[in-house]
Amino acid sequence: MAKKAIVLMIIIVVLPAGILWGQDKTRPMTLEECLVRAMERNLGLQVQVLQPELADLGVSRAGEKFLPSLSFEYNSASNRSASFSWIDASDMVITKSHYYSTGITQTLPTGGTFEASLYSSMNETNKRFQTINPYYSSRLAFAFSQPLLKNFGLRVNRKEILVAQNNRDIAESVYVTALLEAMYSVEEAYWNLVFSVENLKVMQKSLKLAKDLLEKNKKEVEIGMMAPIEILSAESEVATREADILQAEVQIKNREDTLRTLLNFKPKGEEENLPITPTDAPAAEKRDVSMDGALAQALASRPELQAARLDLKTKDLELMYSRNQLLPDVSLQAFYWSPALSGTQILYQDDNPLSGVIVGTVPGGSSQAMKDALKFKYRNWSVSLSLTMPLNFVFSRALAAQAKVNLKQARLVLEDKEQQLCLEVRNAVREVENNAKRVEAYEAARKLAEKKLEAEERKVKVGLSTNYTLLQMQRDFANAQSQELKARIDYVLSLAKLDKATGTSLERHNIKWTGF
């Protein structure tokens, strides 16, 4: 089996606009740019992407059992020994020989083996009374062996390949799971950073309102229209809001570092250390969500379920194989061979080798023996049937029982994963629906808080309210803005969580996954 190359194929339908450098030395990034960079450079994904490659090598290794094997052999020898009889030789017995053979063996998908071999040899001796010396021997042979019960069948003999293929697909499903998790982590970090940045803007506006009120109070104190003590509440509020801004700035840095880590930014230079400025805003439109549709989509798309189903197939293969090993070993063997012989024929007086008188020779070479063998001049065949009853059937039965338990366990694992998935999807759908309602409620609350603040400002101008109440209204309005923003971020994140739960995050972001 040829070794396959592992290539990560991710096609981005909507290409990112790229990185633009602002004059304020920041790195503006869209969510899509962050997702693409995470898929390319996230360290966790780089670790996981190696698993399918290793599993694919396992498939190649398992398929090597069906590759034919070639054999070549050559031998040359010269033997010298003392002669114990003048009939053999006068002084010493000298025998020279050499032979070579070649063959090919092929394992068949049914479990059988086929072998073809070609053999040729030469023998020469100084012994007396030889009728052919040197003589050449050749043989062309074919052998076939096929188990009929144990180790018979396509699935039994391809079991290792099928298991390796399942493991390879499981490794790919595990990678897709890690990819979905990484995408959600990037989305969560991105939208949390968006919230922190926008919430800082809300706080800065609130601080500006407090400072404007403080300046107004100072002017009124100077002209004697307000008591100096009225300045204290405004100063206290300014100090409090400045402290809140400091905390918000730290939160931005922390969340920016979280996103930077997910995107694998390395501190190599100024560009790598530039602050990340998210450019996307949470979507305002609502998405219609169906509980039944989400459950059906999750059951069809979640890679964890696909991995569990593949593991179930593997356990079923193991049970099938272990049951096959309980069968008797009945094998059919068939042989077909063609021998041939040639050489230099020695002619004796009166055709009597015992006379020892050589009157002539008829030359012959190795080519004639080879030709006779290849032409099947002498055809021979044999067929046999053998039965073997192994004594370790007790252990084989234990393996079969263990495989049966493993299959049952795999079924339960799949059912448990389906139940957990359904629970996750139901919670995600309810969270989306709840967050959609929260957006509407906090939007209404923000609008009311804004109207109350405007009314309170008009009251203060005509002397019908106090600065303390106005500052309270400013805080309420800022809190309402933050809560509305948080609700919108939570709604977007709940949609991302639902996409992860249904296994549709890639499609939702126009990313086509074509596998390895």
**pLDDT tens column, 458-496:** 888 877 878 888 889 999 999 999 999 999 999 999 999
Cα distance between residue 378 and residue 342, in whole Å: 13
At 128, the pLDDT band (50, 70, 90 cuts) reads confident
pLDDT at position 346:
75
CATH H superfamily, domain 10-41+158-319+398-504? Outer membrane efflux proteins (OEP) (1.20.1600.10)
Measuring CA to CA, which residue among 443, 431, 441 is closest to residue 494? 431
pLDDT at position 440:
93
**Which residue intervals of 84-229 are DSSP H helices?**
154-157, 159-222
pLDDT at position 117:
95
Radius of gyration of the chain from Cα atoms? 43
* Per-residue pLDDT reduced to its tens digit, 130-154: 778 888 899 999 999 999 999 999 9
pLDDT at position 395:
62
Average model confidence (pLDDT) across the chain: 86
Instruction: Evaluate if residue 7 carries a pLDDT over 50.
Output: no
The residue type of 239 is A
Task: Sketch the domain layout of the chain as residue ranges.
Answer: 10-41+158-319+398-504, 68-147+329-388
Crossing angle of helices 303-324 and 291-301, rounded to 10°: 50
Element (H, E) at 384: strand 380-388
pLDDT at position 133:
82
Would you state the structure tokens that stand for residue 502, as one six-digit string? Answer: 């249904």
Cα distance between residue 161 and residue 12, in whole Å: 33
Instruction: Evaluate if residue 5 carries a pLDDT over 60.
Output: no
For residues 323 and 156, the answer to whether their CB atoms sit within 8 Å is: no
Between residues 60 and 284, which one has the greater pLDDT? 60
When pLDDT is averaged across residues 97-105 and rounded to a whole number, the result is 93
For residues 496 and 435, the answer to whether their CB atoms sit within 8 Å is: no
Task: Phi first, then psi: give them for residue 275, nearest 5 degrees.
Answer: -60, 140
When pLDDT is averaged across residues 234-248 and rounded to a whole number, the result is 92
Instruction: Evaluate if residue 333 carries a pLDDT over 70.
Output: yes
* Per-residue pLDDT reduced to its tens digit, 311-327: 999 999 999 998 898 88
At 439, the pLDDT band (50, 70, 90 cuts) reads very high
* Per-residue pLDDT reduced to its tens digit, 391-438: 666 566 788 888 899 999 999 999 999 999 999 999 999 999 999 999
pLDDT at position 515:
64
